[in-house]
Amino acid sequence: DPNEAIREFAKEIDVSFITIEEVIGGGEFGDVCKGKFRIPAMNIEKDVAIKTLKPDGGDKARSDMLAEASIMGQFDDPNIVSLEGVVTRSNPIMIVTEYMRNGSLDKFLQQNDGMFTILQLIGMMRGVASGMVYLSHISFVHRDLAARNILVNENLVCKVSDFGLSRELEMDRSDYTTKGGKIPVRWTAPEAISYRKFTSASDVWSFGVVMWEILTYGERPYWNWSNQDVIKAVEEGFRLPPTMNYCPKILYQLMLDCWRVERSERPKFIEIVNRLDNLSRNPYLMEDGIALSAIDIDPDH
Ligand SMILES: NC(=O)c1cccc(Nc2nccc(Nc3c(Cl)ccc4c3OCO4)n2)c1
């Protein structure tokens, strides 16, 4: 029962402690705003993000929002967007979280094309992977890991977000098929598309696509191909190509490992974190790169 879960996992905030300053995003069911959360006991005020549900949002939208908050309230990791609490005893109901100043990773990269060093990009990947180590460790499968669902704070720290059951319609609907529910085809492992086998290994596949999104500064995976063409191409062994004009071979191999057909052969998130840390400590390992044309690595060997 979402009402019971919300009481167990989310602190009720008195709306008088919340000040909404500006709308920063919006979906069909409500807005995301920037605001302040005043904590009288500590005489402090902190920047927060506030998701509101339109008063006429309906019961399902309300229970979905409460479910999202109770899911977030169960997590405690530096790379998962943290919940401050909820406002449920007045309208509109609200989810209040830490404020991620740079917004969603896909838009942030698109707005800062070419601006970061490879080590900064690896740091972003590492943050996402670290959040996913935590989620996979508690056996929570995200099912929609994508740059649009990663948020970035003022220190370039990337955190996993969007635990909404109902996908926010502000996203591009074409990212999700209608066949058998809303599956983000370009980010989803073949076994999850074919027979809905969603596991942490299918989240690893999605993470490989997030790596590609980061290295391309937010390019659309598989460009303007149709969802059906993506499914067919991947089934036939096609994989997203090396990025930039000179992609470190060792990074591209990590992406290919995330996209292995046999999910048991994909790296676990802890291995991904270790491999990214190794690259950050030994940048010379990235001197051997692939020119965009020479795609000579078989994804399964
Ligand atoms: N266009 C934008 O949404 C935006 C722009 C700039 C900064 C942020 N920042 C930002 N920071 C934290 C959270 C969110 N969005 C969000 C999510 Cl994803 C789920 C639940 C929830 C949220 O806020 C309160 O409750 N956003 C969001």
The two three-digit tokens of residue 264, written as one number: 């048991």
Q: Quick one: pLDDT at residue 5?
A: 80
Return the bridge partners of 40, or none.
Answer: none
Q: Quick one: pLDDT at residue 168?
A: 41
In this prediction, residues 87-96 reach a mean pLDDT of 95
Does ligand 1 lie within 6 Å of residue 231's CB atom? no
Question: How is 255-292 classified by DSSP, letter by letter?
Answer: HHHHT-SSGGGSPPHHHHHHHHHHHHH-GGGGSSEEET
The pLDDT tens digits for 141-195 are 999 999 999 999 999 999 999 897 644 443 556 677 655 568 999 999 999 999 9
Alpha-carbon gap, residue 253 to 267, rounded angstroms: 11
Least confident of 84-93, 106-115, 176-185: 176-185
Q: Quick one: pLDDT at residue 244?
A: 74
In this prediction, residues 116-125 reach a mean pLDDT of 97
Q: Quick one: pLDDT at residue 170?
A: 39
- Model ipTM value: 0.97
Catalytic residue among 31, 64, 106, 144: 144
In this prediction, residues 128-145 reach a mean pLDDT of 97
Q: DSSP E strands: which ranges in the chain?
A: 18-26, 31-39, 44-52, 83-87, 94-98, 150-152, 158-160, 176-177, 183-184, 246-248, 289-291
Sheet of strand 44-52, all strands in order from the earlier edge strand to the far edge: 18-26, 31-39, 44-52, 94-98, 83-87
| 144 annotated active-site | yes
The two three-digit tokens of residue 100, written as one number: 């991620």
Q: Quick one: pLDDT at residue 292?
A: 62
Contact 179, 126 (CB under 8 A): no
Write out the H or E segment, with its range, that includes residue 186.
none
Residue 224 clears pLDDT 70, i.e. is over it:
yes
Does ligand 1 lie within 6 Å of residue 50's CB atom? yes
Residue 274: pLDDT band (50, 70, 90) is very high
The 3-state DSSP class for residue 25 equals strand
What's the gap in Å between 63 CA and the centre of ligand 1? 19
Residue 1 clears pLDDT 90, i.e. is over it:
no
Residue 293 clears pLDDT 70, i.e. is over it:
no
Q: Quick one: pLDDT at residue 110?
A: 98
Alpha-carbon gap, residue 65 to 165, rounded angstroms: 8
